[in-house]
Amino acid sequence: MKKHLQVEAIQSGTVIDHISAGQGIKILKFFDLSSESQRITVGLNLPSHDGANKDLIKIEGLTFNKEQGNQLALFAPKATINVIENFEVVNKFKVELPQQIAGVFSCPNSNCISHNEPVDSRFNLTTRAHRTKLKCHYCEKAFDKGLFTELD
Amino acid sequence: MHNPLYNKNIISIPDLSRSELELIVATAQSLKQSPHPELLKNKVIASCFFEASTRTRLSFETAVNRLGGSIIGFPDSGNTSLGKKGETLADSVQVISSYCDAFFMRHHQEGAARLASEFSSVPVINGGDGSNQHPTQTLLDLFSIYETQGSLEKLQVAFVGDLKYGRTVHSLTQALSLFDCEFHFVAPQALSMPDYIIDELKEKGVKFHLHDDLDTVIGSLDIIYMTRVQKERFDETEYQHMKSSFILNAQMLTGVKSNLKVLHPLPRVDEITTDVDRTPYAYYFQQAENGVYARQALLALVMTDEFGV
Ligand SMILES: [Zn+2]
């Protein structure tokens, strides 16, 4: 398998794999990964097992835990996180939608108090009939994933 | 006895359990029967209306006075230096809460009370935050229903008028759905109950029905909750047509159940004709009066540990 990888292996860090094509750049930008001093390798439109193209991000020297990985779930619900030490995968998990997301998205309700106040935005996530909704902790309004400009 | 609401914030109806709602209603009733004019003696309560609302403020301030507390605050932040100096709500709340033992507030932005509760050193009671919640209205509605029916359980309740924008209706259905009530929603298409409430009710397995007019169900009802249809939402001809189908008059009340009561959060415009006022079914003015007892009950429970029935 390793021979087929089109991006260089890393010694230690995190590989985010199985990102739907097109989402890789958004994840980099949104989580501001490229501003960290870690070395980052990005693969775009790589072939995937299921035939669809995927993006992949390798971050040298940064280890994701489950919680950090789950923050990616709204961008890349099928992503897999591989934690690498000494060129070996020491931990591997699929991202899962967290119950709550804080400080990531701003509330789509323009009259919500969370704008312009010294607080992190906070949303509780619910999935019903395959539809994920984010309910604002402050204004109590529930929004479809598609209403967040950050996810466009 | 331990009072579960002592030192708690009262922000949103879904935060309250069935037994907490029952405790508030029972406390309102006991305060209506036996006043405690010194219960909050030496306590200072801030009444902060970042958005003006005269009725709610008078009702709340009456409640504080009847329990012997002192009030500080303002009726409209437009006349204060708060808004003008560009201070955040978080900062205003930290300062004001350091002066008082509890904080009652109304604000035009949704989520304001929840945010305030995170920065306040004393309990916050939400007096309305934008289009979101107005829990004290719901509590006075519950108290009025309990008082007139002797129970909150298994009632047939109709909601009539603007069910889309009427936040009092949304919270009251959320509260009553804990008591196995059956709902009848009577509204013009453009003002029907929002999907998220309908979805919640379906999920909880609550029985509800949609109707085009009140006549078809009026004979089976225990409570009719009327709401105001706001003229601004329609053009003139649409409005004239609309309001004629959602007006309650005395004649419609012939043959109803004897325990039926008509409620309305007030102010009414013309959705209940004045001839209804003279029937035994009208209860909206007593309901407004009950607002004082419901707010007294909340203050008593939130501010004193031992008080509770
Ligand atoms: Zn919000």
Contact A139 B88 (CB under 8 A): no
The answer to the question of residue A32 being in a domain is yes
CB pairs under 8 A between A and B: 54
Tell me the residue type at B104.
Answer: F
| B111: nearest CB among A118, A128, A138 | A138
Whether residue A44 is found in the same domain as residue A111: no
Whether residue A77 is found in the same domain as residue A110: no
Query: Most B CBs within 10 Å: which of A134, A136, A138, as the mutation test of the B interface?
Result: A138
The answer to the question of residue A42 being in a domain is yes
Model confidence at B38: pLDDT above 70: yes
Closest CA to B48 of B112, B131, B133: B112
Residue B136 a catalytic site member: no
Whether residue A46 is found in the same domain as residue A72: yes
B167 is in an annotated binding site: yes
Alpha-carbon distance A131 to nearest alpha carbon in chain B (angstroms): 13
Whole-angstrom distance, CA of residue A76 vs CA of residue A52: 14
The answer to the question of residue A3 being in a domain is no
* Cβ contacts of B108 on chain A, cutoff 8 Å: 111
What's the average model confidence in pLDDT over A94-104? Answer: 91
The answer to the question of residue A131 being in a domain is yes
Whether residue A85 is found in the same domain as residue A107: no
Whether residue A30 is found in the same domain as residue A70: yes
Whether residue A60 is found in the same domain as residue A27: yes
H/E stretch holding B224: strand B223-226
Angle at the Cα of B10 (from A110 to B171), degrees rounded to 5?
Answer: 65
Contact of B239 with B276, CB cutoff 8 Å:
no
CA of B305 to the centre of ligand 1 (A): 33
Whole-angstrom distance, CA of residue A10 vs CA of residue A41: 9
Whether residue A45 is found in the same domain as residue A63: yes
Alpha-carbon distance B11 to nearest alpha carbon in chain A (angstroms): 10
Whether residue A23 is found in the same domain as residue A83: yes
Confidence at A71, pLDDT banded by 50, 70, 90: confident
| B130: nearest CB among A111, A116, A118 | A111
Look at residue B2 in the predicted model and tell me its pLDDT: 78
Give B244 or B121, the one with higher predicted confidence. B121
The answer to the question of residue A2 being in a domain is no
pLDDT digits (tens, 9 = 90+) for B271-290: 999 999 999 999 999 999 99
Residue B268 a catalytic site member: no
b (16+ CB within 10 A) / e for B210-249: eeeebeeebeebbbbbbbbbeeeebeeeeeeebbeebbbe
Contact B110 A116 (CB under 8 A): no
Whole-angstrom distance, CA of residue B158 vs CA of residue B148: 15
Whether residue A80 is found in the same domain as residue A124: no
The answer to the question of residue A6 being in a domain is no
pLDDT digits (tens, 9 = 90+) for B195-212: 989 989 999 999 999 998
The answer to the question of residue A128 being in a domain is yes
Residue B66 a catalytic site member: no
Whether residue A39 is found in the same domain as residue A80: yes
Number of domains chain A is built from:
2
**What CATH number should be reported for the domain holding residue A71?**
3.30.70.140
In this predicted structure, which of A66-70, B138-142, B177-181, B214-218 has the lowest mean pLDDT?
A66-70
Alpha-carbon distances of B62 from A66, B45, B133, B138, rounded to whole Å = 53, 12, 21, 18
pLDDT digits (tens, 9 = 90+) for A6-61: 556 888 999 999 999 999 988 888 777 777 677 888 999 999 888 889 999 999 98
Give every CB contact of residue A131 below 8 A, 6+ residues apart in sequence. Answer: A144
Alpha-carbon distance B131 to nearest alpha carbon in chain A (angstroms): 9
What mean pLDDT value characterizes chain A? 87
Contact A116 B88 (CB under 8 A): yes
Confidence at B213, pLDDT banded by 50, 70, 90: confident
Whether residue A112 is found in the same domain as residue A138: yes
Whether residue A80 is found in the same domain as residue A120: no
The answer to the question of residue A108 being in a domain is yes
ipTM: 0.92
Look at residue B295 in the predicted model and tell me its pLDDT: 98
* Strand pairing report for B124-129 and B102-107: parallel
Whole-angstrom distance, CA of residue A29 vs CA of residue A38: 14
**What CATH number should be reported for the domain holding residue A133?**
2.30.30.20
In terms of residue numbers, what domain contains A35? 13-94
Look at residue A128 in the predicted model and tell me its pLDDT: 79
B124 Cβ under 8 Å from any chain A Cβ: no
Whole-angstrom distance, CA of residue A83 vs CA of residue A68: 12
Percent of chain A with pLDDT over 90: 51
